[in-house]
Amino acid sequence: MKTTRRRIMLAAIVVVFLLGFIFPNPHPHFWWQKIPVFDIFFGFFGSILLIVFAKWLGHNWLLKDKDYYNND
């Protein structure tokens, strides 16, 4: 079950990878828009960056005990 899902996922990534070369951006404004698979890397590393950074921030600073404001 789990491996099937993983295979579907990988197949889908390969498909969008190839589609990126078939349909390149005709009007790029910036250099990264000329890379056909840029969004593959941006999506993957962007999501991981957000998770890791937000979790780090929450753990070290932002998250407090739920009675934080009520201990008076």
Partner 1 sequence: MINIPPAFIYIIGALLIPLVRLRRLQQALALLIPLLAMGTLLQMQQGVYWQVQFLDYELILGRVDRLSLLFAYIFVIISFISMVYAIHIKEMGQHVAAYLYVGSTLGVVFAGDLFSLFFFWEVMAAASVFLIWYNKTPTSLAAGFRYAMVHLFGGAILLGGIVMQVSTTGSIAFNPFDLSTLSAKFILFGFLINAAVPPLHAWLPDAYPEGTITGSVFMTAFTTKSAVYVLARGFAGTELLVWLGAIMTLYGVIYAVIEKDIRRLLAYHIVSQVGYMVCAVGLGTEMAINGAGAHAFCHIIYKAVLFMGMGAVIYVTGRRNILDLKGRNLYKKMPITLVLYMVGAFSISAVPLFNGFVSKTMIVAAAGYSHRPVIELMLHLASVGTFLSVGLKLPWGVWFGKPDGSEDEIADVKDPPLNMQLGMGLGALLCIITGIFPQTLYKILPYEVHFHPYAPSHVVASLQLLLLTLAGFCLYTNKLMAGKKSISLDTDWFYRSFGYAVLLFCTYPLNRLRNLIKAAFANKTESAVRLSKHPYALLEIVWYAIIGQEKSITELLQRPYDEKDYRIPVGIGVCASLIFLFLYALIYMRVAG
Interacting residues toward partner 1 by CB under 8 A = 9, 12-13, 16-17, 19-20, 22-26, 29-30, 33, 37-48, 50-51, 53-55, 57-58, 61-66, 68-69, 72
The least CB distance from residue 8 to partner 1, in Å, is 11
The least CB distance from residue 2 to partner 1, in Å, is 10
The least CB distance from residue 64 to partner 1, in Å, is 6
DSSP state of 29: S
Nearer residue to partner 1 within complex by CB, 1 or 66 = 66
- Contact between 36 and 21 under an 8 Å Cβ cutoff? The reply is yes
Q: Which residues of 18-45 are buried (b: 16+ CB within 10 A; e: fewer)?
A: eebeeeeeeeeeeeeeebbebeeeeeee
